[in-house]
Amino acid sequence: MDNRLIGLILAGGDEAAFKSKTPKVLHSLLGTSLLRLTAEALGEVGPARLIVAGLPRDLVAAEVAGLTVTIVEKTKDKGPAAAVHSARKEWARDLDGDVLIVPADLPLVESAVLRALVSRHRKKGNAGTMLWADAVASGGSEKRIPVREIEDESDFPADHPSRRIPTGIFVFRARELARVLLRVIKPGHKGASDLTAAFGLLAAAGRPVGVFLAPDPEDVQRIVSRFDLGRAADRMRLRKIRALAEGGVTILSPASTWIDWNVKIGPETVVYPGTVIEGPTVIGRNGRIYPNAHIVRSVIGDDVHVLGSTVIEDATVENDVRIGPFARVRMQTTLRSGSRVGNFVEMKKTDFGPRSKAMHLSYLGDSEVGEAANIGAGTITCNYDGVNKNRTIIGSGAFIGSGSELVAPVRIGRGAYIAAGSVITKDVEDDALAVARGRQVDKPGWAAARRAKLQKEKSGGSKP
């Protein structure tokens, strides 16, 4: 910890371009928020205190859960300097210390950069130090460069000179900041940023000030619009993917894979293109996540294959399980070790036993399935009677014939056998057979006669 450093996050700021009821810095970025990411980066610098100024206490508290943060609510005055002033009791206790000020709409800033900024600021004995960055183009769809006229070849302009601009990140000696702060808050002060003006006042007064350049300007671009948010997310996405890859995960196509900041994946697991993994999620080692899978808030073990276009949400998957494609496993479902879940199968609030299989076109809801049971294609637990949800229990080794409906509440015994196409309304004993379907009756020639009749009617019905 750095006892002479206070971290101050400015969580207010201009939000008009977001057109949102949600404060800008609470918007999601790779599954976390701008504010949270900024607080984590600033927290890693190790300040004695971390202050967030500018938003209602409850909103901030929910967002920074787990971090030690002092919250200062919004004042009526506008602008960064007013926000800094509103938090003065928190940072001005130690006037010989430094205040590192970071707007919360710079969530990509890295702690190493902040740490270097503070280090240089102190080494130089500065009163204040600004972080600057090269201006960057804003992507293919923005037109900031005007149409230029060219008279002849020699008149062709050189490449646009790169410009440096302030990032909005500052570190000040607390005493020096306190000295000039009020002067820049007074109404009518001109200038784009009043903290820059405070910096200017120090310089004009002959105090030592400095400017540092951020190593990568893309990391300190302000998020002004939702498009900036999307671009930042795609950048943060690659940062996450890099970290996973360095841990031994293969992400086949970084371009089309989305993995939230709050996701852990074990080594030797391979993630195919088009996958979306939302946090908090943990995936074990040696897994395969096939294309277009969507995993949300789940815990997945080792050696698990999630086949294509599978949705797993709020579920637990043990080791050596194979799910999908086109499976949906949700809401407190657990797939036990070695189980298999196939295509067009949904499970909800189900404990699916070890080595059991449900391979095709089934719905298991509010169920408990034992070991090594076989759930035939088209099995449906009728868990809802229009008013209540009821439970289905299927014993170990049971065989549910295809196209069966199990009308809950119902219990199928261990090793029991349900004949295909049965509607089971009563409990079935262990090792018993249950049949509940019609008997087959054949009528020779019927189909040929019917075809002829229908075709005749149809052609008769069309206008000649």
Residues with a known catalytic role:
360
The tokens for 454 are 């229908």
User: Contact with a second copy (CB under 8 A): which of 214, 263, 375, 394?
Assistant: 214
User: Contact with a second copy (CB under 8 A): which of 66, 154, 441, 462?
Assistant: 441
DSSP string across 110-138: -HHHHHHHHHHHHHTT-SEEEEEEE----
Q: How far is the CB of 188 from a second copy (least distance, A)?
A: 28
Between residue 123 and residue 142, which ones bind a second copy under the rule CB under 8 A?
132, 139-142
421 binds a second copy (CB under 8 A): yes
Per CB under 8 A, the segment of 6-14, 78-86, 143-151, 182-190 that binds a second copy is 143-151
14 binds a second copy (CB under 8 A): no
Q: How far is CA 210 from CA 23, 129, 174, 203, in A?
A: 33, 5, 16, 9
Peptide bond into 215 cis (omega under 30): no
The tokens for 327 are 């499976």
Q: How far is the CB of 178 from a second copy (least distance, A)?
A: 25
In the shown chain, the binding pattern of residues 362 to 381 toward a second copy, with x for contact by CB under 8 A and - for none, equals xx----------x-xxx-x-
Q: How far is the CB of 449 from a second copy (least distance, A)?
A: 8
Q: How far is the CB of 295 from a second copy (least distance, A)?
A: 10
Q: Which residues contact 208 (CB under 8 A, 6 or more apart)?
A: 124, 125, 126, 127
269-295: b (≥16 Cβ within 10 Å) or e: bebbebbebbbebebbbbbbbbbbbbb
User: Contact with a second copy (CB under 8 A): which of 43, 166, 325, 409?
Assistant: 325
Report the alpha-carbon distance of residue 113 to residue 258 in Å, rounded. Answer: 26
The strand pair at 311-317 and 288-289 is best described as unpaired
294 binds a second copy (CB under 8 A): yes
User: Contact with a second copy (CB under 8 A): which of 68, 154, 440, 462?
Assistant: 440
Q: How many residues bind a second copy (CB under 8 A)?
A: 148
Q: What angle do CA 319, 323, 329 make, to 5 degrees?
A: 100
- Which amino acid, residue 159? D
User: Contact with a second copy (CB under 8 A): which of 181, 346, 356, 392?
Assistant: 346
Q: Is 53 exposed, middle or buried (0-12, 13-18, 19+ CB in 10 A)?
A: buried
Per CB under 8 A, the segment of 40-48, 92-100, 186-194, 284-292 that binds a second copy is 284-292
Between residue 92 and residue 121, which ones bind a second copy under the rule CB under 8 A?
110, 112-113, 116-117, 120
Task: Using the minimum distance from each CB to a second copy, give the nearer residue, 188 or 445.
Answer: 445
331 binds a second copy (CB under 8 A): no
The kind and range of the H/E element at 235 are helix 226-246
Task: Using the minimum distance from each CB to a second copy, give the nearer residue, 91 or 172.
Answer: 172
Task: Using the minimum distance from each CB to a second copy, give the nearer residue, 86 or 298.
Answer: 298
- Distance in Å from the first CA to the final CA of the chain: 92
Q: Are 329 and 323 in contact (CB under 8 A)?
A: yes
Report the alpha-carbon distance of residue 406 to residue 381 in Å, rounded. Answer: 5
4 binds a second copy (CB under 8 A): no
Between residue 236 and residue 255, which ones bind a second copy under the rule CB under 8 A?
237-239, 241-243, 245-255
User: Contact with a second copy (CB under 8 A): which of 185, 290, 315, 349?
Assistant: 290
314 binds a second copy (CB under 8 A): no
Q: How far is the CB of 15 from a second copy (least distance, A)?
A: 11
Task: Using the minimum distance from each CB to a second copy, give the nearer residue, 91 or 417.
Answer: 417
Between residue 58 and residue 97, which ones bind a second copy under the rule CB under 8 A?
none
Task: Using the minimum distance from each CB to a second copy, give the nearer residue, 85 or 355.
Answer: 355
CA atoms within 13 A on the CB side of 267: 3
311 binds a second copy (CB under 8 A): yes
164 binds a second copy (CB under 8 A): yes
User: Contact with a second copy (CB under 8 A): which of 154, 159, 187, 206?
Assistant: 159
User: Contact with a second copy (CB under 8 A): which of 66, 187, 444, 460?
Assistant: 444
Report the alpha-carbon distance of residue 178 to residue 64 in Å, rounded. Answer: 27
Q: How far is the CB of 138 from a second copy (least distance, A)?
A: 9
The tokens for 338 are 């070695």
Q: Which long-range contacts (CB under 8 A, 24 or more apart) does 424-430 make?
A: 430/395
Q: Are 10 and 83 in contact (CB under 8 A)?
A: yes
